Amino acid sequence: MKAIRTLSAFVLFALAGTASATPLIEGFDNITSLPGAGWSFINNSTDAGSTWFQGNEGIFGAKDGAANSYIAANLTSTNSMLGTISNWLLSPTLSLRGGETLSFLTRTEAGSLNADRLEIRLSKNGNTSQVGNATDSLGDFSLLLSSVNPNLVPDGFPTDWQMFSVVIPDLKGLTDARLGFRYWVTDTGINGSNGNYIGLDNVSVVPTPSSLACLGLGLFGLMASVRRRT
Amino acid sequence: MNVKQLTRNVTLALILGAMPLIAQAAAEIIVVNADEPGEGFNDPTPVQPIGGNNGLTLGQQRLNAFQYAANIWGRQLDSAVPIRIKSNFDPLACEKDSATLGSAGPLMVNRDFAGAPRTNTWYHGALANKLLEADDFEGEPVIRARFNSNLGKENCLEGGGFYLGLDGQHGHLTDLVGVLLHEFGHGLGFSNLTNGQTGRRYNGIPSMWDYHLYDLTAQKSWVEMTDAERVASGVNSRKLIWRGQNVTQAAPRVLQGAPELRISGLASVIGTYQIGTASFGPQITAAGTSAEVMPVVDQTDGRGLACDPLTANNASAIRGKIALVDRGTCSFNIKVKNAQLAGAVGVLVADNAAGSPPPGLGGSDPTVTIPAVRITKDDGEKLKLALKQRSRNRSGIYAALGISATQRAGSDEAGRLLMFAPNPYQPGSSVSHFDTSASPDLLMEPFNTESVKRNLDAPHDLTFPLLRDLGW
Ligand SMILES: [Zn+2]
């Protein structure tokens, strides 16, 4: 098991049992375990090819842990010579209130000029995997939380692991929700201009620091002692 | 056929002592002419002398070639009993571009004769007589051999008939002396007596062959196997070996280092792959070619035929890499040339028909400067699956084409000769030949090669060492 060494992870450890929201920490050590843990793979690309797959350490290594311990999607998501990729990775169902922080790391290959794009979307519709079945359909995942390189700029995707954080909007009470990671690239395939290879790692959903305030300074003392022990 | 009839049919006998032999060993080989009047050895068609063969009829030249080949074998062997080979020319299997040149096998086998090294074990008749030092078959032929009477005619390897000269200068024709040497080898002992397709042994009794034939997967010799295990072993391409000591000891003096393809990187594809080498482009050398593997994809079904100049995206993907392309539509050298023009440093051609081992890549183009090899359809599909985890210009999968430090061409890592065990089974060829990966080519490979051997022993060939393993 790969430890996720972010502040959020330690916060979550400290909070175990006290928060009502479902925590999520996924380091993609072995993606064959994902379906059993509630994750879903749906490829709506033109002439759909590969779904998300275990990271290929020969392209680049994971941020930490085993070199292949991340999840990846690439141009082979479509078997078409020229088409559109819409390749979904759906998280397990989470109980969220809003205000939680979603964090993830992503990157593409250094020197790549074939633009990649990653969208992170949210469904508030319970245990749904409804993303439609067209390259441009969104189904229940119409709420866009974040987009990495939204305009498909050739050098617009980070070429080293970069952390992105986004606060989940208010959901008016505890709501069953799913996150959708969508590798979405137009004008791609062997003959297309866009689409190369991206990695996704260290996905976590934790309460925001603001909700920790009520727990007082003692929490930070505990964190420090945890750090010293490791 | 009784003995008197046989005697009348003997038209050719090698008279020992007719020429001075620097000999230790020698055996008399008698060819028993089984052709009807006017055909085969008796064909009266007038011909010109050629390549040291002074016969003036087609039949006589055929007989002369026989005697010449028989002399070569006779000098190699040591037997007090004359070896009779019943021979004739017959129409054998033919196609426009390929044909059976000849076939031969033992007519007689023997077991539990006085002095047999192993009890309850079949020996080819000629070998049994040698070991017994007497003729247990009362003058009957012990070997049967047939040669293709239609070779070179229309729809039978057209234009590629037998060369009847004795000097080996056969050009584009097929050297009859070489074919004779090969077929005599089968009759003398170089043949499996167990049915490789059913696994059944002749009369339920093993032959000496089965003691030396060993399967690296089953880790058993053929004597130790069930019928079903022998069937599986007969198609266990490049995992079926000869364990006889004479062959193993002589092999390093005969065989060159084996060209090999090693794949590294993604765990799912790591290993050494079976390859067929190309008749064009550079030889694979010890220095070798190593690079990342990238596929060419120029077909909507995901294949890459590389029959046309590559697109910018495909060219960018394989520049400086070893390109994976698919067999089909155009000739191999065109594919390799297109990959070369796009900047590839080597080419793997994935077969489009199932079967192993992969044949070589035929064709010629003197402007090809990068090495190319063929891999099996199965291996190609395995690689392509792993290559789906690539980026535009990287795959994390590496290929090294080089000469094995540990293995010689045609033997396993322990130096034991690989036997021909293609999948699917080839009746008449499988299990009774050395594997086609041997380099330089050996006399007892299943396909006739350019360099026909006239020398049956190391350092030139391994046919006689194998016969010695059997008891010769
Ligand atoms: Zn043969």
Question: pLDDT tens across B79-112, in order?
Answer: 999 999 999 988 888 888 778 888 889 999 999 9
Mean pLDDT of B332-343: 98
Q: State residue B404's pLDDT score.
A: 87
pLDDT tens sequence across A176-216: 999 999 999 999 999 999 999 999 999 999 876 544 433 33
Q: State residue A34's pLDDT score.
A: 97
Strand order in the sheet with B240-242: B220-221, B213-215, B240-242
Q: State residue A9's pLDDT score.
A: 41
Angstrom distances, CA of residue B209 to CA of A93, B195, B280 = 66, 12, 37
Q: State residue A175's pLDDT score.
A: 93
pTM: 0.72
Chain B: give the shortest CA distance to residue A75, in Å: 7
Chain B: give the shortest CA distance to residue A196, in Å: 5
Residue of B73, B91, B96, B88 lying closest to B14 (CA atoms):
B73
Q: How far is Cα B119 from Cα A71, in angstroms, rounded to an integer?
A: 64
For chain B, give the percent of residues with pLDDT over 90. 73
Query: B152-167 burial, b for 16+ CB within 10 Å, e for fewer?
Result: bbeebbeebbbbbbbe
Phi, then psi, of A187 in degrees rounded to 5 = 50, 55
The pair of structure tokens assigned to B453 is: 């051997």
Chain B: give the shortest CA distance to residue A79, in Å: 7
Phi, then psi, of B64 in degrees rounded to 5 = -65, -40
Find the A158 Cα to ligand 1 centroid distance in Å. Answer: 63
pLDDT score of B17 more than 70: no
CB contact under 8 A, A76 and B388: yes
pLDDT score of B436 more than 80: yes
| Cβ count within 10 A of residue B267 | 9
Mean pLDDT of A19-38: 86
Q: What residues of A are in contact with residue B314 (Cβ under 8 Å)?
A: 190
Strands (E), B181-333: 213-215, 220-221, 240-242, 257-265, 271-273, 276-277, 289-295, 322-326
**Residue B341 host element (H or E):** helix B332-341
pLDDT score of B408 more than 80: yes
**Single-letter amino acid code for the residue at A46:** T
Say how far residue A210 (Cα) sits from the centre of its chain: 23
- Residues on chain B bordering chain A, Cβ-to-Cβ distance under 8 angstroms: 265-266, 292, 297-298, 300, 302, 311, 313-314, 388-397
Q: State residue A47's pLDDT score.
A: 97
Q: State residue B23's pLDDT score.
A: 43
Specify the range with the lowest mean pLDDT, choosing from A151-160, B166-175, B385-394: B166-175
Q: Which of A41 and B171 is assigned the larger pLDDT? A: A41
CB contact under 8 A, B396 and A74: no
pLDDT tens sequence across A147-161: 999 999 999 999 999
Beta-carbon contacts of residue B131 (< 8 Å; ≥ 6 apart): B113, B115, B116, B117, B123, B471
- My answer on whether omega of the bond before B357 falls inside 30° of 0, hence cis, is yes
Q: State residue B428's pLDDT score.
A: 87
Q: State residue A18's pLDDT score.
A: 41
Specify the range with the lowest mean pLDDT, choosing from A7-11, A84-88, B32-36, B113-117: A7-11
For chain B, give the percent of residues with pLDDT over 70. 94
The pair of structure tokens assigned to A54 is: 């275990």
Q: State residue B451's pLDDT score.
A: 65
CB contact under 8 A, B265 and A53: no
